[in-house]
Amino acid sequence: MKRAIYIRPVGDIAPKAIHWLQHDLRSYLNMPVEVMENMEIPGESFDPARGQFHSTRILKEILLEVPGDALKIQGIIAEDLHIPILTYVFGEAQLGGTASIVSLARLEQTFHGLPHDERLFFGRLHKESLHELGHNFGLVHCHDRRCLMYLSNTIMDVDLKGSGYCRQCFETILATMNGGR
């Protein structure tokens, strides 16, 4: 059975972003990428004191419906995410696990008070989506500033890192993809 990466839209997401990501991941990883139906944002994931959503709680909900042929599943959400120890996160992933989630909120220039820039937005989405999937494939943060697995604490960090994995990280992903979950 050919396994696939699944994208799970969480809440209202512009279809253009989902279809763009599906094509981008399919092209970059050279494997099937399927899109699931949108799921509701779990109500208990919202933290009114912070005005953000707790990414770990959403990951737990994503894991409740994993297709049988899923190699990995990635949630995409328009809302801003956090984990309790950090002010915000671009995404969260299970290290060596099945699920991850990426927030589109801080990838948008408008979030930072600047005009929308579609090219920049999709470039950031490419980087953060593949970064979180890299964690799912067992990768930790890379010391190579050009690698997708370089740690991004700020949006400038996202913009400065490269658009591909370094050779060592990519080889690890390929080995994991060919070996199973």
Instruction: Point out the residues that are catalytic.
Output: 132
Helix H or strand E encompassing 140: none
Q: Please state, in angstroms and rounded to a whole number, the distance separating the CA atoms of residues 151 and 167.
A: 17
- What is the SS3 string spanning 91-107? EEECCCCCEEEEECHHH
